[in-house]
Amino acid sequence: MLHCTDRHYRYLARLMSKKCFLYTEMITTGALIYGDRDRWLSLHKQENPVALQLGGSNPGEMARCAEFAEEYGFDEVNINVGCPSDRVQAGKFGACLMLEPTTVANCIRAMKSVSEIEITVKTRIGVDNEDSYEFLRKFVDSVISAGCNTVIIHARKAVLSGLTPRQNRTIPPLHYDYVYRLKQENPEIKIIINGGIRNKSAISEHLQYVDGVMIGREAYDNPYFLSDVDEFIFNTKTNTPSRFDVLEEYKSYVQTELDNGIPLKILAQHIFGLFNGMPGARSWRRYLSEHIYAKDAGLEVINQAVKAIIEHEQIAIAS
């Protein structure tokens, strides 16, 4: 979810769900140790619970970043052992680390030695030809032995060469049965399933076999997906906001961030899919895509995009 689940998107998500556990985009240890730490780790006061998803393989650096996460108020650090991109492989982290379970275990031990917050792992079911259930089980056994009590599993293997990251999200077949079996054999460990889950009925089905469900692209491409999860999943009675209600609240946040020098293109990219499935959604997306990149673009762009939706609805009614 690089460039997707940044702090602006997470603010948007919190307008719809107070209960779901949010994750940052994957952030490398180098970005935190040598870069602008506040940019990556500053949290909004209403953002928790939230996890820092971390990319790295050096135990000392990973431990230092776990300390940063605790200092900034994160609830969890999640080690990414699932991303298949070439750039991530070159940095010796992501899915290629499934082939180095000892390295991952050493990172977990180092992080737990300096931090009290939970350390978790997000992984695939396998890598290239190493895609048997036995391979997955041995990898998970290794991280459990190092002190990891929660494993998030994207139920596809990663193909490290020959497929793009986008293709890796759709082409390798899903093996939900691997994840179910892993939970059955490790009842004391929290197992969370991920991959190809796009509706509430699928969530309900998976929750019969595992402890949790992670939603990725669907929650980003169609953010209003989150509007009723507190009631549907957590049995919390809420007044589900309309899409326009969500947008009005987000607009207030956008103006504050614009005043702080954040360009509209960064803030508005997260609301492209807010009206997905509604009449006028295409007009909304088109207007945003044509205007948010202007140098001095401001809140008026979003307001005009809303008018594009309303005009589309009026035309549809008239016709």
Of 104, 162, 152, 105, the residue nearest 128 (C-alpha) = 162
Whole-angstrom Cα distance, residue 315 to residue 257? Answer: 34
- Unique residue bearing structure tokens 């469900």: 213
Whole-angstrom Cα distance, residue 144 to residue 138? Answer: 10
Token output for 220: 């980003």
Whole-angstrom Cα distance, residue 149 to residue 218? Answer: 26
Whole-angstrom Cα distance, residue 202 to residue 182? Answer: 19
Query: Annotated catalytic sites, by residue?
Result: 83
Whole-angstrom Cα distance, residue 153 to residue 140? Answer: 10
CB burial string 198-209: b at 16+ within 10 A, e below: eeeebbeebeeb
- Unique residue bearing structure tokens 């940052």: 24
Whole-angstrom Cα distance, residue 132 to residue 108? Answer: 24
> How does strand 76-81 pair with strand 150-154?
unpaired
Whole-angstrom Cα distance, residue 11 to residue 14? Answer: 5
Token output for 119: 């350390």
